[in-house]
A and B are shown apart, each in its own frame.
Chain A
Amino acid sequence: MTQYAFSLDPSRCSGCRACIVACQDQNDLEAVAFRHVTDHEAGAYPDVRVSHFSIACQHCGDAPCVLVCPTRAISRRDSDGAVLVARDLCIGCHSCELACPFGAPQFASDGRMDKCDLCHGRLDHGLTPACVRVCPTRALQCGPVEELSARKAEAASVRLLESLGRGTVPDGA
């Protein structure tokens, strides 16, 4: 099995929330949103950091929601590790919501759980999830975990090598 995952580069995330809307458009969601974007501030003027984070279902390898679901409505798909809900089996007991560390399970007006399905129908067709596709800064990525970590390792290595070659940052930076 290949485990797929989302990956976010906070240094590229502008907090624009296109990921939230693209997901709603993809999944015909009216009031519910599968993604959540948080704005975060650290420090005080003039030493401030303002950053953003976009999160949805993390499609955990050992997903607590799968374990706690009393009707086995939640399962993992073998081909990519997508954690999926069969909504017709859901009884709306909210156990998954209690168990999930990321606030992923949402409850639509029919009372049943709904959440990100990794756009597995798009993955099957060779497309990235809608939230990844829309991301204007390419901050949000999705792929096999090995690929994601290799990509990050390479980017970090290039940055290190670049800074070795360039010397110091000017005063006031």
Chain B
Amino acid sequence: MLSRHGRDLRVDAKIPGEDTGIAIRKTLCSICEYKCLVDAYVKDGRLIKVEGSPGNPVNDGTLCSKGAASRQWVYNPDRLQTPLLRIGERGEGRWAPISWDEALDRIAARLGALKIESGPESVVFFAGYPKVMRPFLKRLAHTFGSPNYCTESSTCFAGTTIAGLLTYGYGLGQQGGAEIDQTRCILNWSTNLFYSQAPLGNRILDALDRGAKLIDVGPLRSLPAERADIHLRLRPGTCGALAMGMAHVIIEEGLHDRAFVEAWTQGFEQYRDYARQFTPDVTERITGVPRETIVAAARLYATTKPAALVTSACTTIHHTNGVQNHRAVTALIGLTGNFDRPGGNHIVPSSYYRPTGLAHREHAFEQTRPWAEMAPRVGQDRFPVWCRTVPQGQAMALPEQILGGAPYPIRAIVGFGLNHRMWPAPDHMREALRALDFFVDVELFMTESAKLADIVLPACSTFERNEFSISPNRYAIWTEQAIAPVGQSRPDVDIIIDLAKRLTPEDELMAQGHAACLEWIFAPAGLSIAELENHPGGMFLAGRPETPYEKYRKTGFPTPSKKMEFTSTVLAEHGLDALPVYREPMQSPVSTPELARDFPLILTTGSRLPMYIHGRTFRVPWLRRLHPDPTLDINPADADARGIAHLQWVEIATPRRALQVRANVTEYVAPGVVNMIHGYPGADANELIDPDYLDPVSGHPGYRSLMCEVRPRPAANGGSR
């Protein structure tokens, strides 16, 4: 049989086999860090196709559009081929290729000199994407003597952990520990898993097929909203008020778990008194959600047992009132007796970025030097609660410290996948990078940030390296190297290990290599990389103890009061609101009415389109063609009022900056709200945000609620700019 091209059908259909010369190698996708398992179809050493690996509990044969485009990601023409040394002015883009040895020797010499001149704390070690190298980089930073290990978590997820630690003494984990597969009611709070972690989205649909109820909270008309029994379409930034309003209904109607609340919580009376303010009428006025809908949602969530609250890694915390919002939202778990119970929110300790509950020594591996023996971290003065709860510096404070030199100078950054577009006001961070004495960036591609470096090192993708990954249900894999590295690119972890050999030669463990370090970390769980190598597609790590439910019954909660804290002891110590007090976003129609006169629309940014994640996939042609121009979503009512037609070029402006994008006129957003993804080349929404638009507790930027205006650009109509 011939293909439509008149060639051998089996070859053209890419059927693996000896006759076709096509082999399947087992690897994974880390474009978004959900780490779907991937079958790499390889012929003559080249990747010719990808497919989700079948028969695993992570993605069972499926992929999202980003993962499906892996081939154009791996073989992207922008891939860095060799280490590069800057020979022109900073940012000019003139480079000389150098050898790995020369590059690493130069870096080690420069960092060693800076350590002597300005102290080890003058060097920042930064981890962007991927996350796999993080424990290695943190170990290197602290062994070197610098407290300044920072990551992209300065803008993401950590705030949910802070909220969990303050209230419950536990980070609640991804999706808040929601047991989607076992629950009877899902309270899906502002997360569209279909666009962020697609296989998990499918599990929500499966739960619906089983008869589970779905309540969706969020400003966008996403698939979870479409499929929900109840959709609460709230004004961005008001989730804390909505949660208090639901708490009001639950408490007034006696639907809370009295036994749990009496035995295991601190500050319930104050919380109850505070909730009294949030009557359905008041809550409707703040959030825009009709009072009947609030009451119905509160009743359904509180009376269906078990019920699981699904939280996002970032949507609730990307407000200037983010941590308190998230505390208010997650307090509903304990209030309704769903904390650490089957089908509710189960607390499973994480290691290696997955809640597996496996015994490990990750913290010992990372924290080679106690904080007390190092200088204060970046951001420690501005964000003390962050530094008390997150074992990293707060990178949002980096630009100020680099440019201002206080409390001490930052002179160098060794960045892995550092992208200055992550920061609000990325131009400000760009200026800071330019001001550094020494900047190294390790990257797959020549990014805007890498262009500012003194030395750029080429990293390879997951397809080109071995990688350990483990899913929450303990399906572990040590991937095969599917293809040879592109150019001279190398695995991030190996680069760190080679830097460690030069910078911290006393570190004997790191010198033993990637696999040996993983086995050391997971020695208490008996991890054997050799055993994993014998199971190329991955395997369940069976026979290790399961994580129990209701752990607090044995040991109390790991909080200062040993209870769930409606009133946080730690926040009170820092002079902050002990209750999850609702405050308006720093910019909102309510808090800044004078600003709202000229900028009347609420801008919410940071959401996802399915083909893009942060700045990572805009350069992939298959994906870029799916959404070739920057857009904002605006409701037809707001578009009509401004004379804006669908897909017309418009200007979106804040007092800080204006961008040119196309208007997607859509009911996906409610009237009064404008939604825009971040990082789009040439129209990055983060440029609209002030550098100090931060949550004072976490330091996270308030990407998801600020004020803007949208105007037509008549001169630029007709599709051109």
State the A residues within 8 Å of B (CB). 11-12, 14-18, 20-22, 24-26, 30-31, 33, 41, 43-46, 48-51, 84-88, 114, 117, 119-122, 124-125, 127, 130, 133-138, 155, 162, 166, 169-173
Contacts and interface: CB of A to CB of B under 8 A. Distances in A.
Interface string B1-40: 1111110011011110000000000000000000000000
A84 B637 CA distance: 46
Interface in B185-233: 194-195, 198-199, 201-202, 205, 209, 211, 221-223, 226-227, 229-230, 233
Given A20-B622, A138-B62, 7 more contacts: A14-B223, A18-B65, A25-B49, A26-B13, A45-B667, A137-B201, A137-B202
Contact of A125 (B15, B69, B209, B300): B15
A130 B668 CA distance: 29
Given A170-B299, A171-B296, A18 B667 contact: no
Contacts of B194: 14, 16, 136-137
A81 B558 CA distance: 63
B226 A121 contact: no
Contacts of A26: 13-14, 49
B380 interface: no
Contacts of A88: 5-6
A18 B636 CA distance: 28
19 contacts: A12-B202, A14-B195, A14-B610, A16-B64, A16-B65, A17-B626, A20-B622, A87-B6, A117-B3, A120-B13, A121-B9, A124-B1, A125-B10, A133-B51, A134-B52, A136-B62, A138-B62, A155-B209, A172-B292
B398 interface: no
A35 B226 CA distance: 24
A170 B302 CA distance: 13
A166 B185 CA distance: 14
A21 B63 CA distance: 10
A18 B63 contact: yes
A11 B201 CA distance: 13
Contacts of B562: none
Given A14-B198, A25-B68, A133-B62, A45 B670 contact: yes
A124 B202 CA distance: 28
Contacts of A44: 636, 667
Given A136-B63, A136-B202, A166-B211, A125 B299 contact: no
B51 A136 contact: no
Interface string B213-255: 0000000011100110110010000000000000000000000
A39 to B, nearest CB: 8
A130 B297 CA distance: 40
B227 A136 contact: no
Nearest to B623: A21
Given A11-B227, A25-B71, A166-B211, A125 B65 contact: no
Nearest to B200: A136
B472 interface: no
B233 A46 contact: yes
A31 B621 CA distance: 9
Contact of B229 (A21, A124, A173): A173
Contacts of A33: 625
Interface in B640-680: 666-668, 670-671
B81 interface: no
Given A50-B668, A85-B4, A136 B295 contact: no
Interface of B: 1-6, 9-10, 12-15, 49-52, 59, 61-65, 67-69, 71, 194-195, 198-199, 201-202, 205, 209, 211, 221-223, 226-227, 229-230, 233, 290, 292-293, 295-297, 299-300, 610-611, 621-623, 625-626, 635-637, 666-668, 670-671
A170 B13 CA distance: 50
Nearest to A15: B610
Contacts of B221: 48, 50
A45 B671 contact: yes
B13 A12 contact: no
B61 to A, nearest CB: 6
Contact of B297 (A114, A133, A172): A172
B4 A18 contact: no
Nearest to A155: B209
B211 A162 contact: yes
A17 B611 contact: yes
A80 to B, nearest CB: 12
B9 A124 contact: yes
A135 B60 CA distance: 10
Nearest to B197: A136
- The 8 lowest CB-CB distance pairs between A and B, nearest first, are A121-B13, A172-B296, A136-B198, A14-B194, A16-B610, A21-B68, A48-B667, A18-B65
A116 to B, nearest CB: 10
B13 A134 contact: no
A20 B222 CA distance: 20
Contact of B205 (A12, A25, A30, A120): A12
B168 to A, nearest CB: 29
Nearest to B610: A16
A146 B384 CA distance: 64
Contacts of B295: 171-172
Contacts of A135: 62
Nearest to B50: A25
Given A12-B205, A50-B668, A136-B198, A121 B65 contact: no
A50 B296 CA distance: 23
Given A121-B13, A173-B230, A45 B65 contact: no
Contacts of A49: 226
A25 B201 contact: no
B621 A30 contact: yes
Contacts of A25: 49-50, 68-69, 71, 622
Nearest to A24: B622
A156 B201 CA distance: 21
Contacts of B15: 121-122, 125, 127
Contacts of B227: 11
Nearest to B611: A17
Nearest to A13: B223
